[in-house]
Amino acid sequence: MSLSAAGSALRTLGARYWGVLGLVAVWQIYVSAADLNSIVVPSPRAVFADVLLHPVAYLPHVWSTAWVALIGLVFGVTAGAFFAIMAWLSPLLAGVVNPPAMVFRSVPVVAMIPVIARLFGYDIRTVLAITVIISFFPAFVFTLSGLRDLPSGSDDLFKAFGAGRLGYLRRLALPAAVPNLLVAIRLSAANCVLAALVAEFLMGTEGLGYLFVRTRSELDMARSWGAALVATVLSVSAFVLAARLEEWGRERWR
């Protein structure tokens, strides 16, 4: 890469992320000016150095958190879409599914973890169950809304052609619900990472949440803050990828 290209890339980076860079600069200035001990607040230089110089200490935990969040997202979205379709097909089933879905959405994640841990055990199964629950409700609500919000006049057209219920679902309702489902994926992607982190923090034996709490108890604050930094990058990356998927889907189903 030429110097001009590198300079252009740096200017673009600064223009897009000047707010984040400004916060890092204020963080470094505050730590240096106040002469704070690293146990209280590590400097950004120490945190970034630990992440960049010791990637092996982070990678297994990154993989664990990312894998659990991804699997939980897939299972939760699939289950949410499935039950939304069933609720659309059967008003009786809608009355059965809606109340538990609302309860799971209303209860804080932290309050659910001890209960679910008693059912599944204090291991990765509970972390996975939490991510599934977090992604289930948005997928259920948005898919059901998409199934019911059909293009104007399309309902009468399909009835005029004598379309059956399943044909109506496959050819009209499901394609209409896809954009809404993609919105649910975008909203749930980062939340699944957050839910996995909270569960790992409270009762995990691996993952970035576990790394954060373990290194904090060992007073290795640079690595503890490094785990938080990597978790933030992972969460933002999940959101960006889900947003790109949504854009692609909207172009395809426009």
- Give the pLDDT confidence score for residue 124 in this predicted structure: 83
Binned at pLDDT 50, 70 and 90, residue 66 comes out as very high
Is pLDDT of 73 > 90? yes
Q: For 217-254, what is each residue's pLDDT tens digit?
A: 888 888 898 999 899 889 989 998 998 988 888 777 66
Q: For 178-219, what is each residue's pLDDT tens digit?
A: 888 898 999 899 889 988 888 888 876 788 999 998 898 888
For residue 229, the one-letter residue type is L
b/e per residue 112-148 (b: at least 16 CB within 10 A): bbeebbeeeeeebebbbbbbbbbbbbbbbbbbbebbe
Most confident of 84-98, 121-135, 221-235: 221-235
- Give the pLDDT confidence score for residue 247 in this predicted structure: 87
Q: For 153-167, what is each residue's pLDDT tens digit?
A: 555 555 655 555 566
Q: Interior CA angle at 210 toward 41 and 207, to 5°?
A: 115
pTM of the complete model: 0.81
- Give the pLDDT confidence score for residue 16 in this predicted structure: 64
Question: How many residues in total does the chain contain?
Answer: 254
**HSE-up of residue 14 (Cα within 13 Å, Cβ side):** 7
